[in-house]
């Protein structure tokens, strides 16, 4: 619930990236901008202080160093040597860079929508007041906590292996001779997508909180007017939930781009079979630590930052057309 509240106050940042010209926004925008009093912003900054300190003391140095290193030939062992934009140029003729992009984009564009859809459907079901809600909420949330862990990745490798749970189960109903899912290039990425979808708990909890904030009277009024379930969903629930959907979309997209552990463990660090699970971050790691190519790895990191930043910007721009902040 706090998430949803926080989101609404955060929202005015968004239009600052583009000219505030669209319809609903413009009416609300100047009004909102003047709202927070001095005291309120002080409190906000106070809450942000730990994050700023972390950034300044821990993250900022390495970020700047990697920006510099991305223009060098740096083996980790010797001193970095300035080579200008060569690392960035090299990517254009690096087939594994493109393979890593392909794998990562496929993963993001397939698994994030699926995961959010799954989370939304379950949130809707749970919101209808299931008995033992607290239990279900925790049970469904659990995979989110475990999803990125080494243990689950190992479990996944077993379940989807040649003689794993899935093939054994299929074998018992007469479907035999199937290959290992994690060890066949055509399916390996699919198993990791399933793993990501399985961790729908975190967005689900946020959806639940968002659903709780929608005033019941809207539904009552709609019911009086004769709107059915579907009509209510599309004209009330979805628009009023759109800021939450947007929030989840941005967050899950960014985290999907950063996926590392799953492919590292499932493929034994190789990104295999046949580079089919060569995630961008895994490739970056291989170059930097496996192949003494930290300069190139740094350049890869910056390109990833640009890609994620660019997509997030597109998300924010597109949000004008579908995210509804419920002023009237």
Partner 1 sequence: MAVTASACGGSAGGDDGEVTLRMSWWGSDSRHQLTQELIDAFEAEHPGITIEPEFTGWDDYWDRLATSAAGNNIPDVMQQDTRYVREYADRDALLDLNEYIPGTLDTSKLDPSVTATGQVDGATYAIPTGINAYTVVTDPEIYQQAGMELPDDETWSWDEFIDTAAKLTRETPGGTYGTQNIGFVETGLEVFARQRGESLFDENDKLGVSDETLADWFRLILESSERKAEPRPSLTVETQAGGVDQSLLATNKGAMGTWWTNELPTLTGSAGHELTLLRFPGESQAEQPGMYFKPAMFWAASSRSEHPEEAATFINWLVNSPKAAQIQLSDRGLPINTELRERISDDLEAPDQQSAKFLEKIGTDLADPPALPPPGAGEVQDILLQINEQLLFGRLSADQAAQQFRDQASAAIG
When the beta carbons of 99 and 232 are compared against partner 1, the nearer one is: 99
For 72, the 3-state DSSP assignment is strand
Q: Mask: binding to partner 1, 27-56, rule CB under 8 A, as x and -?
A: ------------------------------
Q: Which stretch binds partner 1 (CB under 8 A): 6-14, 16-24, 174-182, 206-214?
A: 174-182
State which of residues 75, 106, 144, 315 lies at the interface with partner 1 (CB under 8 A). 75
- Do the strands 81-82 and 72-73 form a parallel or antiparallel pair, or are they unpaired? antiparallel
Determine if 106 is a binding residue for partner 1 (CB under 8 A).
no
* Contact of 232 with 240, CB cutoff 8 Å: no
Residue with tokens 């004008």: 320
Instruction: Count the residues in the chain.
Output: 328
* Contact of 320 with 18, CB cutoff 8 Å: yes
| Residue 190 CB neighbours (<10 A) | 19
Determine if 269 is a binding residue for partner 1 (CB under 8 A).
yes
Site size for partner 1, by CB under 8 A?
Answer: 27
> Residue 55 CB, nearest distance to partner 1 (Å)?
23
When the beta carbons of 253 and 263 are compared against partner 1, the nearer one is: 263
Determine if 78 is a binding residue for partner 1 (CB under 8 A).
yes
19-52: b or e for each residue (b if 16 or more CB lie within 10 Å)? ebeeeebeebbeebeeeeeeeeeeeeeeeeeeee
CA dist 101 and 25 (Å) reads 36
> Residue 252 CB, nearest distance to partner 1 (Å)?
29
State which of residues 113, 143, 273, 326 lies at the interface with partner 1 (CB under 8 A). 273
Residues 180-199 that bind partner 1 (CB under 8 A): 180, 182-185
Quick one: CA torsion of 195, 197, 199, 203, rounded to 10 degrees?
160
State which of residues 162, 235, 310, 318 lies at the interface with partner 1 (CB under 8 A). 162
CA dist 173 and 237 (Å) reads 42
Summarize as ranges the residues that interact with partner 1 (CB under 8 A).
75-78, 161-162, 179-180, 182-185, 267-275, 286, 289-292, 294
């Amino acid at each position: 619930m706090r998430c949803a509240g926080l989101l609404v106050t955060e929202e005015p940042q968004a239009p600052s990236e583009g000219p505030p010209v669209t319809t609903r926004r413009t009416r609300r925008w100047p009004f909102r901008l003047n709202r927070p009093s001095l005291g309120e912003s002080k409190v906000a900054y106070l809450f942000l202080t730990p994050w700023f300190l972390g950034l300044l003391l821990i993250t900022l140095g390495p970020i700047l160093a990697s920006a510099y290193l991305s223009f060098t030939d740096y083996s980790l062992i010797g001193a970095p040597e300035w080579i200008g934009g060569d690392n960035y140029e090299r990517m254009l003729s690096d087939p594994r860079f493109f393979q890593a992009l392909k794998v990562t984009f496929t993963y993001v564009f397939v698994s994030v929508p699926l995961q959010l859809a799954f989370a939304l459907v379950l949130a809707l079901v749970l919101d209808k007041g299931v008995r033992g809600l607290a239990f279900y909420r925790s049970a469904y949330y659990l995979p989110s906590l475990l999803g990125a862990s080494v243990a689950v990745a190992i479990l996944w490798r077993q379940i989807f292996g040649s003689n794993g749970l899935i093939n054994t189960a299929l074998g018992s109903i007469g479907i035999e001779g199937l290959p290992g899912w994690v060890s066949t290039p055509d399916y390996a990425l699919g198993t990791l997508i399933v793993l990501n979808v399985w961790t729908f708990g975190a967005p689900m909890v946020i959806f639940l909180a968002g659903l709780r904030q929608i005033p019941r009277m809207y539904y009552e009024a709609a019911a009086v007017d004769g709107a059915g379930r579907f009509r209510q969903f599309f004209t009330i629930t979805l628009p009023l939930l759109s800021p939450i959907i947007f929030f989840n979309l941005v967050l899950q997209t960014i985290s999907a781009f950063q996926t590392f552990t799953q492919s590292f463990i499932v493929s034994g660090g190789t990104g295999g079979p046949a580079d089919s699970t060569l995630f961008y971050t895994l490739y970056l790691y291989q170059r930097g630590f496996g192949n003494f190519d930290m300069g190139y790895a740094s350049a890869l990191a910056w390109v990833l930052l640009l890609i994620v930043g660019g997509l997030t910007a597109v998300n924010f721009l597109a949000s004008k057309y579908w995210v509804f902040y419920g002023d009237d």
